[in-house]
Each structure stands twice: as C-alpha cells, then as structure tokens.
Structure 1
C-alpha cells in the first residue's frame, strides 16, 4: 500500500545515470556542485516543462509579436531565467524536462537563442521529454510555422553535425526511424522513464494507436519490457500531455477527470497508465498545461485509489505562459485535483530516497497580470514507494 502524506498550500556526478550510456565518476565530497553527487541517501530531481519563449529575431520576423519573447502576455526571458535560477539553486542531480522546452516549433536556432540562454548551464543534467511544440507545426493566432518533427530538439540535446543534422544518440534518447527519444535511467533506488507522446506528428505517421505496428505501439511495447526488467523499487514516468487534466485548456471535449483530457496524445497514454499501474509505479509527471497541479493517487480510469493509485503532478509552469485552472480551490472540475496554481512560474523539487520521496513546489516569478501575492503559494509533502 502506498502511503501519501500531504501538506498543501502552505550533480553532474551521476554514477547511476544510465539512460544513453552516460556515466560520470563521482567526485570527492566538497562544495563543488555541479560536478559531484554528495549524498548516498537521496537524489534531487528538478522537474518542469513549458519553458522558453520564441526569440524575437530576424528568423522569426513573420511570427506575431504576441507569440515571441517580449510579449506582455508571456513570461518571456525573465520567467525562463527565474525558473532556471530556481532549479540551479536546488543543486539537482538531474533535471526532468517535461516537454515544450522551446516555443513555438522548437527550431534549433530558437533553442540556441532562448532556452540555452537561461537553461544552458544545466544542460549536462537535463533529461528531456519532447512536447507538441518540438514536433508539430504551429498555425494559430496568425502564425504559420512548419513542424520540426523533433529536429531542433534532438539537435540541441543530442548535438549535431556542422550542417545541423542531429546526432542519432544522446541524452534525449535515440533519434531514429524506429525510436523517437524514449529512454530510461536510474537514480539510486529509483527507475526514471522519459516518454514521447507526440503521436500526431509526421514522425509517428499521425498514428496514436498503442497496439499496432506503428511507432507509438513500438514505444508502448518498449515501456512494457522496460518495466518488466526493472528491479528498483521506486519508479517515475514522465511525458508531456497529461492524461488527466487540471486546466480549461485541455477539457473542451472530455471531462477533466476522464482519461484523454489532453487530446489524442492524452488518450493514447491511457495505455501507459495501465502498464505503470500494473507495475506499481510511484509517480507520473506531465507538462502541457501551463500551471502547477497535484492530483490524488488514481487508477487508470481516473478514480481515486489510495491503496494502489499513482499521484500525477502537472508542472507546466516553466516560463512561457500560464493557462486558466478548471474550477477553483475546493471546487475543481477534476475532483482529483488536490491543489493547483496558475498565477506564477516555478519548478518542482523532488527528493528521492531509497524507499520514499518528498516534493516541494514554490513559485519563482508572478505571471503576467499577477502580483507578488502569487508567490505565497506553496505545496509540499511526502510519500512512499511500493
């Protein structure tokens, strides 16, 4: 039985980071972070998504000003620098990036001129998952940009050749015809899984089936095998689009408490919930919704399950923009939402111990239209692994 204690509102050196064959020898103990992991008892994982605004440069001259860095309706560079500073102050052993690292379509040059400026100092620690803005075209609000199908994402995180062609392997996982950036790694007694939910993209041939021979079906079978092979007691999985929702942005056609509120991708990841539930996963992390929310332990049907359910955290408050929560405290549209905020940008800190964990979320910068009172929000607590 998983016990979850709630308290609402109110360093490179990864000897076990084995996702892409990466292993760094631990340095001696001292005040030399980020080049050493200092505690055998716990690991710190910073988690956040939806981060960097599109740079206002000549290459993006055709993009409406309201969608670029400098827009008064976006967090802008000040927000992404604030969240990067907050994450750095955590002295993390790894950084789980929950997708939409770079807006609007994640070109390599956009990564280099925006995301890199704020978050580049943590790059060796970053373990990303992609989002829709790294794969899909963007043709909203007067914009018309071609989808990158992960090219800028892999080019930035995995490196690239002189022509800008991404390397096929690296810290974002494999970039090949039959594997698009899903991978797993270990932090002490924790097994951590990064998944790619962008099944409506050209790379996935617009196939969101988890059971056929398509790319998402292959990924789902890989997840099943990875979970079966795992021998660590505690498991985290993260991807971009949340299966269960907390904001109005994802609930136009499906109730927030029903699987698939995040669209076709969220519906497809219902299969992942079933696998993770079967294998007693500890936590699921998502982005996509520009807010912070913590949801009660749930079974794959979205029903409260305190004995065996998996808590979901949505941490899409990395800096680009903020959404609107569906409902209000004590009366959220999704009754599984315990606490949430969409008035400020911030990063969640997870402390991972051998058989337990704790979380701590505090905002770093008020969002557009909000004042310093938005910084009074906090959410912290602890739980145990199966």
Structure 2
C-alpha cells in the first residue's frame, strides 16, 4: 500500500499532507498565534461537521429554483455557514473533519468558490474532508435538474486544479483516480483517523454498492481492512457521509432507524465498514447527511446497544445548509439508541482528542429557519475512553 508523503508549507509553518493511501498527519506549529501556536502533544482539537454551504445565487445557477439557493426561506443561508465557520475557527482546531455535502446542490467548482470558500476558506489548510451525495449525484428535486459532478468540483476545490479546471490527482481530499475516489487516513497523536467515500451510487463507482464483488467500493473496503490492521495507535475515528444508523425522518421511511442501512443504500454498504471498525475496536464514528445533531449509544454492527465493545455514532449534519426533522421526540426517539438530538439550530462539534480518551462539546450557534434564540439553549458534552 502506498504511503503519503508529508509536504512542508514553509510560508505558513504548517505541515500539509498529500494523501495517496494512509497519510501520517502529525501537525507541527511555530511560535506564532493560532493556528500555528504550540499545542500540547497530548491533546488535539478536531472540529467536526457536515452539510454546510448553500448553492450560490450566481450566473451559473440562474436557471435553478430560487428556493434552493442562498437566501431561500427554508435554508440557513450564508449567515449560517459564516456562523458555523466562525465557531469552528474559535475552537482553534488542529484539524477540521468535514463530513460530506460541503457544497450544495451538486458541488460545482464555481459553487465551492462562491459559497463554501467565502465562509470556510480561512480553515482550508486544516480541513480533512469526506464527500457527500451532493458532491457526486445529480439533483432533480423541487424543480431543479442538475447533472452529477462525480466529485469533480469537490476534488478541484480541495486538491486544486489546472488552468482548465481539471482536478489534481492528489491532495488533501485524497486521490482522485479511477482506482481511489478520495479515501485516506491520517494521525493526530495517539489517534488514527479515517475518511471514507460512501457515494457508491455514482458513475465514478459504476453504481455498484457491493462491498464484496471486486468493484470500487469493494476495493475501498479492502483498503479499510488493511489500514485498520496496520494501525498501531490505540484510538480510532472513522467518518463518512451517510450514517449507518439514523435519527431523522428523512432516512427512516422504509427502514427502521435502529436497523443498519437506514440512511439508504450507502448506509447499508457502510454496514461492512462498521463490522470492520467493530472488529478493530474503533473508538468513534462520525457522519453527516441528516441535517441535525444526534449522539447514539455504542452499537454493534446489528445496531444493538453494546456498552463494552460498541461504537458510539455522532451525526453532525448541522453545518448551515438546512435542517431535517427528528424521528420521534426526546425520550421517545424512533431509534432507541439515540441518546440526545436537536434539529432546530446549526452548530459544529468540538472534539478534544487525548492520549487514551476524548471529550466532546456540542453547542449550536445559530437558530434554524422558523426557530428563535431558545434553540441555542441546547448543548451536549461528555467524555469517553479508547478501547
């Protein structure tokens, strides 16, 4: 398996990592102010969120419905994505885990440049993204009809591109090749962190969501098995877009929220990843896709509560674009493994990664459309240990 090389960016004093497989992403700092100030080698801050940037109302989107663009009445809009970007910046993170759907509706490069970049561009060198369905799939809902980008805008933005707009084959979003669509891993201290691409129902994956038939998703799953087997660090986080287990009504129309694959065909395919992560005693799984925040109890691959060996799941799809509806209410969620959840405000999760444990703190920063400041009274925090 190829290993990434670590490229020093002397202009800013930050080690920037190109990834072609497993990348060693130890971050080094100078004596300047954040983000290059000295941090304790025993503790790292990881900001985590997905589902962020509204579609810009520009000439490239002139034919698209106004309700789907920044300023649409049901969207968070530019104000929300700026609010969450400031929240993440104020955390002074060592890295930013982006959980997919960074840019709506189909993640064209111009969309990234005119929306996501405006709010989140200041954190770009720290961002460690995973793609979502809006970066790969076509969008033909609510009067819209846009072709899928198959990651072209996503890779073009995060990896850079040539003068013609063709994405670089390697960069901080992983490889952009026929044989690797942006899965990679990196390390922060005692933590091994894996970013995966679940967008298997796309042209890039041959619309093949099998994890065992030799197709691209199967190759990604084999890579994950090897990556986890080779990892020597005691703590592991994996993140991808569609959750295996659900908390909202958007993902539970046909499958029970507590069943593997409630998030759709991608979530069902990711059940194989959960099995591998469970086998290797992974510490946490982070997902987006559902426009809400939810914390789920430690679960085995069948979605059963497993206090001793299960993996807690955090859904953090509250980056700013829009909000969904929770399945059930507090104390009576459709998925009994949901401990706490909110879908009335936008916010980013602050994860502190310690030598053999972690703590989390989630507090939203901006109410969603139709909600008032009382939505900001929600908070969720706690701590856990590595297995």
- What is the TM-score of this pair, normalised by structure 2? 0.94
* Contact in 1 for aligned 2:345/2:368 (Cα 8 Å): yes
| 5+ residue gaps, structure 2 | 1-11
Q: Which residue of 2 aligns with 1:120?
A: 121
* Contact in 2 for aligned 1:100/1:132 (Cα 8 Å): yes
Per the TM alignment, residue 291 of structure 1 is displaced from its structure 2 partner at its CA by: 0.1
Q: Which residue of 1 aligns with 2:29?
A: 27
Q: Which residue of 1 aligns with 2:182?
A: 181
Matches of 1:28 and 1:170, distance apart in 2: 23
Matches of 2:103 and 2:136, distance apart in 1: 11
Structure 2 residue 351 is matched with structure 1 residue 371: no
Per the TM alignment, residue 274 of structure 1 is displaced from its structure 2 partner at its CA by: 0.1
Q: Which residue of 2 aligns with 1:267?
A: 268
Matches of 2:153 and 2:176, distance apart in 1: 11
Per the TM alignment, residue 27 of structure 1 is displaced from its structure 2 partner at its CA by: 3.3
Q: Which residue of 2 aligns with 1:152?
A: 153
Matches of 1:208 and 1:152, distance apart in 2: 22
Q: Which residue of 1 aligns with 2:238?
A: 237
Please list the CA deviations of residues 277-315 of structure 1 after superposition, one character each: whole Å capped at 9, or x if unmatched.
Answer: 000000000000000000000000000000000000000
Matches of 1:167 and 1:209, distance apart in 2: 28
Q: Which residue of 1 aligns with 2:9?
A: none
Per the TM alignment, residue 36 of structure 1 is displaced from its structure 2 partner at its CA by: 3.4
Cα 1:255–1:130 shift into 2, 3 Å: same
Matches of 2:13 and 2:19, distance apart in 1: 14
SS in 2 for 1:185: strand
Q: Which residue of 1 aligns with 2:356?
A: 355
Structure with more relative contact order (C-alpha pairs < 8 Å, separation 6 or more): 1
Please list the CA deviations of residues 84-119 of structure 1 after superposition, one character each: whole Å capped at 9, or x if unmatched.
Answer: 000000000000000000000000000000000000
SS in 1 for 2:116: helix
Cα 1:303–1:13 shift into 2, 3 Å: farther
Q: Which residue of 2 aligns with 1:9?
A: none
Cα 1:379–1:142 shift into 2, 3 Å: same
Matches of 2:203 and 2:133, distance apart in 1: 12
Matches of 1:118 and 1:105, distance apart in 2: 18
* Contact in 1 for aligned 2:251/2:263 (Cα 8 Å): yes
SS in 2 for 1:203: helix
* Contact in 1 for aligned 2:45/2:351 (Cα 8 Å): yes
Please list the CA deviations of residues 115-139 of structure 1 after superposition, one character each: whole Å capped at 9, or x if unmatched.
Answer: 0000000000000000000000000
The within-5 A match list for 1:1-386 is 19=19, 26-29=28-31, 32-386=33-387
Matches of 1:356 and 1:309, distance apart in 2: 15
Please list the CA deviations of residues 17-56 of structure 1 after superposition, one character each: whole Å capped at 9, or x if unmatched.
Answer: 67456768733445x1112341112000000000000000
Q: Which residue of 2 aligns with 1:8?
A: none
Matches of 1:141 and 1:310, distance apart in 2: 36
Cα 1:310–1:16 shift into 2, 3 Å: farther
Cα 1:55–1:63 shift into 2, 3 Å: same
Cα 1:142–1:294 shift into 2, 3 Å: same
* Contact in 2 for aligned 1:295/1:313 (Cα 8 Å): yes
Following superposition, which runs of at least 4 residues in structure 1 exceed 4 angstroms of deviation?
A: 12-25
* Contact in 1 for aligned 2:17/2:172 (Cα 8 Å): no
Matches of 2:59 and 2:187, distance apart in 1: 42
Please list the CA deviations of residues 192-238 of structure 1 after superposition, one character each: whole Å capped at 9, or x if unmatched.
Answer: 00000000000000000000110000000000000000000000000
What RMSD in Å do the two structures reach over aligned CA positions? 1.4
Matches of 1:209 and 1:23, distance apart in 2: 30
Matches of 2:338 and 2:17, distance apart in 1: 32
